[in-house]
Amino acid sequence: GRRVTVRDLARAKRAGERWPMLTAYDAMVASVFDDAGIPVLLVGDSAGNNHLGYENTVPVTMDQLVMLTGSVVRGTKRALIVADLPFGSYQESPEQALRNGVRFLKEAGAGAVKLEGGRRSVPQVEALVAAGVPVMAHLGLTPQSVHAFGGYRVQGRDAESAEQLIADAKAMQAAGAFAVVLECVPEELAARVTDLLDIPTVGIGAGAGTDAQVLVWTDMAGMTTGHTPKFVKRYVDLRGALGDAAKAFAGDVVGGAYPAPEHAFH
Ligand code: KIV
Ligand code: NA
């Protein structure tokens, strides 16, 4: 079989079919999601918080995400792999965006890239798309701007910021983006943007009206500790299960129950 492409996602929008997206940061977890039939995997810069141990996404580098993206690509056969352009890797110029976007396709084997921002990112999106790099845009709560926002909060609540978001979404579509992530925006606004656009919207904390839904895998699998946002649904307590496994192993080793005779070579 072949990989999912941006054309398949355009077709899904026309057919009114909803689709799921998850983040992945390594080959083994990515292979689980690929086998489960998740059509699109995002090597998000949320790797900063969820894989690399940083406080937020700001310190994440191109080299780190190129390595993680290569791992996710190697672990999968079918999913479209989208790689996040990290903070500082595209804001300077369309040339910088193109240089780094090309790295994800050439060095890591990704099928598309994602970047944050609307009208301010139009030249970057145009340069990438013109060169053959499919671009997913990310609007609403854009975590790379955490210092400018002064924290993480719902975006587009008042009429003016809602109109700004709509203008940003239209600008991203006009610039050639193949999809738009809407993070932490009111359900009614996300549904309106979804209606207005011909390209798919991917919601996270944006209600049920978007064309697709994305979650950070460590959130939906119950690996993340601390505050969980309201929009997260936990599908498994993987932290609990893995912790129990580690405790059972430790108990067996200390108590002498592992290894048993069947685990030994003679
Ligand atoms: O980095 C990430 O995980 C993301 C998703 C939340 C959309 O950008
Ligand atoms: Na991200």
What's the CATH number where 156 sits?
3.20.20.60
Q: What is the pLDDT of residue 1?
A: 77
Residue 204 lies in a domain: yes
Ligand 1 proximity of 204 Cβ (cutoff 6 Å): yes
- Reading the block at residue 42, the tokens are 């995002």
- Please list the active-site residues: 183
Is 116 known as a binding-site position? yes
Residues 229, 257, single domain; the answer is no
Is 45 annotated in a binding site? The answer is yes
Residue 227's pLDDT band, with cuts at 50, 70 and 90, is: confident
| Cβ contact 202:181 at 8 Å | yes
Other beta carbons less than 10 A from residue 7's beta carbon: 10
Q: What is the pLDDT of residue 189?
A: 98
In a domain? residue 129? yes
Same structural domain, 180 and 244 = no
Coil, helix or strand at residue 264: coil
If asked whether residues 230 and 243 sit together in one domain, one would say no
Q: Identify the CA nearest to 142 among candidates 175, 113, 174, 183.
A: 183
Residue holding tokens 């054309």?
7
- Interface confidence, given as ipTM, is 0.99
**What is the pLDDT at residue 62?**
98
Check: CB of residue 90 under 8 Å from CB of residue 133: no
Which one-letter DSSP state was computed for residue 16? T
DSSP strand pairing (179-183 vs 40-43) = unpaired
In a domain, 245, yes or no: yes
Q: What does the pLDDT look like over 67-87, one tens digit per residue?
A: 999 999 999 999 999 999 999
Which residues form the domain of 256? 238-266
If you average pLDDT over every residue of the chain, what do you get? 97
The pTM (predicted TM-score) of the whole model is 0.97
**243: pLDDT strictly greater than 90:** yes
Q: Which residues of 175-208 are buried (b: 16+ CB within 10 A; e: fewer)?
A: bbbbbbbbbbbbeebbbbbbeebebbbbbbbbbe
Q: What is the mean pLDDT of residues 100-109?
A: 98
Closest CA to 77 of 15, 32, 125, 19: 32
Three-state DSSP at 265 gives coil
In a domain, 121, yes or no: yes
Up-side HSE of residue 152: CA atoms within 13 Å toward CB?
13
Tell me if 25 is assigned to some domain.
Answer: yes
In a domain, 1, yes or no: no
Residue 37 lies in a domain: yes
Number of domains in the chain: 2
86 close to ligand 1 (CB < 6 Angstrom): no
Q: State the alpha helices, DSSP H only, in 36-158.
A: 47-50, 62-74, 94-106, 122-130, 146-149
pLDDT for residue 53: 96
Model confidence pLDDT, tens digit, residues 176-200: 999 999 999 999 999 999 999 999 9
Nearest ligand to the CA of 146 is 2
Q: Is residue 47 in contact with ligand 1, taking CB distance under 6 Å?
A: no
Q: Are residues 211 and 83 in the same domain?
A: yes
Residue 211 lies in a domain: yes
- Residues with Cβ within 5 Å of ion ligand 2? 44-45, 84
The rounded Cα 141 to chain-centroid distance in angstroms is: 13
**Same-domain pairing of 222 and 247:** no
- The Cα-based distances of 200 to 2, 137, 195, 235, 260 in angstroms read 21, 11, 10, 25, 54
d(CA 66, CA 215) in angstroms, rounded, equals 21
